[in-house]
Structure 1
Amino acid sequence: MNSDNKWKLPSNNYVEDILYQYAKDLPYENQLHSFIIDTCNETIMDLFDDVDQEHIITYNSSPEIEISDELVHFLMRYRKFQPNEMREVVNSGINISPYDPKQHFNFHYIHQVFSQLLPRYELRPNDFTRSHLEGWFASNIWSAIVDACFIDLETIEFVRGECCSSASRQRKNRGRKCSKTKKIMGRKCDGIARDLGSFAVSEEGSTWTGEDGTKYLSDGSLKMPKLMRDMLLQKIKNHGVNFVKNNQIEIVGFLHSGKIFLI
């Protein structure tokens, strides 16, 4: 790789060179083989000195989203510990007048999530302690939380099921020149949020077995990061790197296993 295309750090070292030297002899597939840096992974971050670590974490980072005090206060109303207390809050509704569906959607979303989940606590409390298949959590829990949060984005659709990523398919078929060459399918995932391409991906599991569990290691640490990388590269290819940077486009990954939800 030409040095002009590498990420130069304050130490004058290149990110790609450091990752390559570490990952070239690994006996298993790792996200580093795709030059993906997990800044929460101490083993990876320890490859860099403190100054370079700070540069990696802060370079081109998006500002934190500001949440109004009014919305925070509204959310905290639902911080109850008994179903009957929650029922009082849910029944009180959204006291905003005049109500604007777009401007006040986040208030509606918060209220709707608790409104949908509360009856299960009231009528079927054992549901939250029993073991369930992956599809049960997707249909009864995560659809109310994840799928519903995109409703105010008119051009976005969240597709569930074992769907293939178009970004992953494009990368895998980059060198395909002949129609007789079999087209390779993209990586499958449990959910994709789509607009002009994809910008969010979801992976699900029926139980959470920790960060050393197979689900987290295979999906959260390998499959999902590679899918997110493909989606970002698709955005750059279609719209240009300046468009992606100026609009601070990010790719989001949802990993839920049982009752655990990671972003």
Structure 2
Amino acid sequence: MSTMDAKKALVANAAKLLDATKPELLWSLSIDELHDDIVTSYQGGDYADYKREWNTAVIDYFQETGVDLILNKARKPNWESISTALINRLEKIAFPKVSAAFDSSTSTASRRRSSGSSTVTTDTANSEADTEESQCKIPKLSTADKANVAMLYDRLDRNKMWKLSTGTIVEDKMREVALSMEYEHPTHSLILDISDKCWEKIFEKDEKNEIRSYRCTDLPVMSPEVESYLKELQGLSGVDLKKKVDSGDFPTESDSSWLQKSYQDAFRLVRSGFFPLQGQTETDLVKRVWSCVDTCFDFSVINSLSGEKCSKASADSANKERCLSKFGRQSSGRKMDYIFLTGPTETELGCGECALVEGVKSTKELTDANFKMPKVMKDMANRILFTRSGMAHDLCLVGFYMGANVMKMFTLDFPSGYVGRLNGIGPAYFPVNYENINSLEHVLRLILTGKMIMESQQVKTDNCQLTKPDTLERQFDEIAPTFVPVVPVKKKKRRKPTSHESNPNFSLPVVVIHKPRHLWTHGYEDDLKVDESQVIELIRLVLTDYYANCNKPAALISRLELS
């Protein structure tokens, strides 16, 4: 039996299931009924010819049986679904090891595609950030960025650098590390976190201790009223602790009243079944778990603004190079979950970040607490010191990081030279069960400590004389500016959707193109490694025909060329 005869035999079997009283539908219904046969019978060759053979087989069969087919332009054969199924079949033949993984990724990819939002892929650090969502991506440095980092360090006055007792110049060591990094790092902004492992072989043990202790920020002492009240609560748990908390009576404006209210809210939250965290949002954490942060500043000279607020200091840093000859786009600054600032002058003295991610050294913590937040704190310091240069080595900024139910506090001060020293305190754990409510004491102490540091900084800024006005191009040279990487601006071209794309019933096929060691999927972002491809040309032929029949532009079809 010839190939055409075999096709006609399959058409004859399919025709038995069709309604011969509707000749205008016979052609399209026949192709639909033959869907599986067409897909499984394809053995290679020109796909356009293959389609033509099947259409001819259908027409010839009905002509031989005396049925005149009527072409209905509104009801053409659905070759799109056949193309999709055929490509999927070829993909499984070519890549049997990855077909299961590819199928499991389809639901995730389709949800991403149907959301209607376009994502811009940037070159970010190759770390576990690939599996965790993070709003702050660490960019890879370009050649221009590396040159700017070198220039930043070269402009520093060596007579003003931080010289340790061993003779080591801290800025020189930081320069070595900064220029060795391929991705942006706090050292590019002259921020030194001595706990970072990159310093293990850079500084000696005694030098590390000197860096930690020199002009270190003294933590404030709690008021006698606060210490007395917390001492009364120590050792109590469960029902006894709740009775003691409910029996107190304090002035509304007092810290003791805030402590009492925080304990009561914690009891209520734990009893409500809020924990464990399952489906809650970051906003839920800010409003429910960490509401004690906002309320701690209710009667303070420091205001707490929560809920994705832009830092003005960060905006100033990003916009400092703007001018008429280098206009560019105005930046609104980095968004923080908390901004702490003084009342009338709106001087920013601290910030905070909240995250749903928990665990030790999560990607979210590393990028937010150890990268994003220190840079914003440095921007805040530069904004203050631009008008109050007398506070150069007497300024301390505060940052809070809350990951799920864990809190850490960070301070950024400037002990000597151009170095911004980052220190961390914690962790403190918000209680998640009724019997451990007493552990809330550590959280509340940490929040009060941060508030008291900021209040003392507010007094210092108010008492410090403003810097004498100078020429507009004057640059404050006591502390180096925060590093801002060069970000190329790409113009996005708008295009009108085609008739097929505007059709809700139309969907692009899953297309597999083999590139060296990778599987490229049109419509998906999965990056799956494969061994080899045996049917790439067949897939390309199917796809080329598919796009040609969809009136797709030639530029899109050209993407199919192998590289």
Shorter-chain TM-score range:
0.7 to 0.9
Shift of the 31–243 alpha-carbon distance from structure 1 to 2, 3 Å rule, reads closer
- Measured after TM superposition, the shift of residue 3 of structure 1 is 0.1
Q: Distance in 2 between matches of 1:130 and 1:162?
A: 21
Q: Distance in 1 between matches of 2:408 and 2:283?
A: 18
Q: Which of 331, 334, 339 matches 1:187? A: 334
Match of 2:282 in 1: 134
- Measured after TM superposition, the shift of residue 21 of structure 1 is 0.6
Q: Do structure 1's residue 2 and structure 2's residue 167 form an aligned pair?
A: no
Between 1 and 2, higher relative CO (CA 8 Å, sep ≥ 6) is seen in 2
Q: Which of 160, 176, 180 matches 1:21? A: 176
- Measured after TM superposition, the shift of residue 44 of structure 1 is 2.4
- Measured after TM superposition, the shift of residue 216 of structure 1 is 0.9
Q: Which of 230, 235, 250 matches 2:379? A: 230
Give the number of equivalent residue pairs: 248
Q: Does the CA contact (< 8 Å) of 1:23 and 1:32 recur in 2?
A: yes
- Measured after TM superposition, the shift of residue 227 of structure 1 is 0.8
- Bigger Rg, structure 1 or 2: 2
- When the two chains are superposed, the root-mean-square deviation of aligned CA atoms in Å is 2.1
Shift of the 176–258 alpha-carbon distance from structure 1 to 2, 3 Å rule, reads same
- Secondary structure of 1:230's counterpart equals helix
- 1:33 is aligned with what amino acid? H
- Secondary structure of 2:167's counterpart equals coil
Match of 2:534 in 1: none
Q: Do structure 1's residue 207 and structure 2's residue 357 form an aligned pair?
A: yes
Match of 1:31 in 2: 186
- Secondary structure of 1:176's counterpart equals coil
Q: Does the CA contact (< 8 Å) of 2:308 and 2:338 recur in 1?
A: yes
Structure 1 segments unaligned to the other structure (5+ residues): none
- 1:257 is aligned with what amino acid? G
Q: Which of 101, 107, 120 matches 2:269? A: 120
Shift of the 200–45 alpha-carbon distance from structure 1 to 2, 3 Å rule, reads farther
Matches within 5 A, 1:71-220: 71-79=226-234, 80-82=236-238, 84-94=239-249, 105-122=254-271, 124=272, 126-131=273-278, 132-143=280-291, 145-154=292-301, 156-178=302-324, 180-195=327-342, 196-211=346-361, 213-220=362-369
- Secondary structure of 2:274's counterpart equals helix
Q: Distance in 2 between matches of 1:16 and 1:237?
A: 21
Shift of the 78–236 alpha-carbon distance from structure 1 to 2, 3 Å rule, reads same
Q: Does the CA contact (< 8 Å) of 1:166 and 1:197 recur in 2?
A: no
Q: Does the CA contact (< 8 Å) of 1:202 and 1:253 recur in 2?
A: yes
| Percentage of pairs with the same residue | 24
Q: Distance in 2 between matches of 1:25 and 1:40?
A: 18
- Measured after TM superposition, the shift of residue 69 of structure 1 is 5.3
- Secondary structure of 2:233's counterpart equals coil
Q: Distance in 2 between matches of 1:194 and 1:169?
A: 15
Q: Does the CA contact (< 8 Å) of 1:134 and 1:204 recur in 2?
A: yes
